[in-house]
Structure 1
Amino acid sequence: MRRTAPRQGLTAVTGAIDVHTHYVPHGWPDLATVAGGGSRWPWLRVTSERDAMIMVGSDEFRRISANCWSGELRLAEMDRDDVAIQVVSPTPVFFSYDRPADQAARVARIFNDLALEICAADPGRLLPFCQVPLQDPDAACAELDRCIAAGHRGVEIGNHVGDRDLDDAGIVTFLQHCAQRDIPVFVHPWDMPDSPRLQRWMAQWLTGMPAETHLSILAMILGGVFDQLPPSLRICFAHGGGSFAFWLGRVDNAWRRRPDVVGTSQQPPSSYVDRFYVDSVVFDHHALRLLVDLVGPERVLLGTDHPYPLGEQPPGSVIRTNPLLSAEEKLALLAGNARTFLGL
Structure 2
Amino acid sequence: MAEGHGIVDLHTHVVPRSWPDLGEGRPWLRIDSEREAMIMIGSSEFRRVQSNCWDPQVRLADMDLDGVSLQVVSPTPVFFGYDLPGAEAAKVARIFNDLTLEICASGQGRMLPFAQVPLQDPDAACRELDRCVAAGHRGVEIGNHVGDRDLDDAGVVTFLQHAAKLGVPVFVHPWDMPSSPRLDRWMGRWLAGMPSETHLSIMAMILGGTFDKVPETLRICFAHGGGSFAFWLGRLENAWHRRSDIIATSEKPPSAYLGRFSVDSVVFEPAALRTLVDVLGASQVMVGSDYPYPLGERPVAGVVHRSGFLSATQREAILWRNAREFLGLPDWPSLQAAVTEPHTAR
TM bin (shorter chain): over 0.9
- TM-superposed deviation, 1:198: 0.7
- TM-superposed deviation, 1:13: 3.9
Distance 1:26 1:297 in 2: 37
- TM-superposed deviation, 1:321: 1.6
Q: TM-score, normalised by structure 1?
A: 0.94
Judge conservation of contact 2:8–2:319 (CA < 8 Å) in 1: yes
Equivalent residues in 2 for 1:213-228, closer than 5 Å: 213-228=198-213
- TM-superposed deviation, 1:161: 0.3
Secondary structure, aligned partner of 1:208: helix
Match among 58, 66, 72 for residue 43 of structure 2: 58
Q: Does 1:44 align with 2:35?
A: no
Q: Deviations over 1:237-276 (max 9, x none)?
A: 0000000011000000110111111141111101101000
Distance 1:307 1:224 in 2: 35
Distance 2:70 2:315 in 1: 17
Distance 2:31 2:177 in 1: 27
Q: Does 1:336 align with 2:327?
A: no
**What amino acid does structure 1 have at the position aligned with 2:130?**
D
Residues 227/13 of structure 1: CA separation in 2 closer, same or farther (3 Å cut) = farther
**What amino acid does structure 2 have at the position aligned with 1:196?**
P
Match among 189, 192, 197 for residue 207 of structure 1: 192
2:159 match = 174
Judge conservation of contact 1:105–1:133 (CA < 8 Å) in 2: yes
Identical aligned residues as a percent: 68
2:19 match = 28
Match among 133, 138, 143 for residue 153 of structure 1: 138
- TM-superposed deviation, 1:315: 0.2
1:7 match = none
Distance 1:229 1:123 in 2: 35
Match among 211, 225, 233 for residue 248 of structure 1: 233
- TM-superposed deviation, 1:123: 5.4
Stretch moving more, 55-64 or 121-130: 121-130
Distance 1:89 1:64 in 2: 15
Match among 289, 294, 303 for residue 288 of structure 2: 303
Give 4+ residue runs of structure 1 displaced > 4 Å after superposition.
none
Distance 1:207 1:323 in 2: 28
Judge conservation of contact 2:241–2:248 (CA < 8 Å) in 1: no
Distance 1:86 1:233 in 2: 21
1:275 match = 260
Judge conservation of contact 1:95–1:132 (CA < 8 Å) in 2: yes
Judge conservation of contact 1:13–1:331 (CA < 8 Å) in 2: no
Structure 2 unaligned blocks of 5 or more:
330-346
Equivalent residues in 2 for 1:97-246, closer than 5 Å: 97-122=82-107, 124-246=109-231
Q: CA RMSD in A?
A: 0.9
2:75 match = 90
Judge conservation of contact 1:15–1:84 (CA < 8 Å) in 2: yes
The count of residues paired between Structure 1 and Structure 2 equals 327
Judge conservation of contact 1:213–1:241 (CA < 8 Å) in 2: yes
Distance 2:266 2:63 in 1: 17
Q: TM-score, normalised by structure 2?
A: 0.93
Q: Deviations over 1:57-94 (max 9, x none)?
A: 11111110000001111111111111000000000000
Distance 1:138 1:71 in 2: 33
Judge conservation of contact 1:236–1:277 (CA < 8 Å) in 2: yes
- TM-superposed deviation, 1:29: 2.3
Distance 2:224 2:248 in 1: 24
**What amino acid does structure 2 have at the position aligned with 1:84?**
S
Judge conservation of contact 1:54–1:60 (CA < 8 Å) in 2: yes
Match among 297, 300, 323 for residue 315 of structure 1: 300
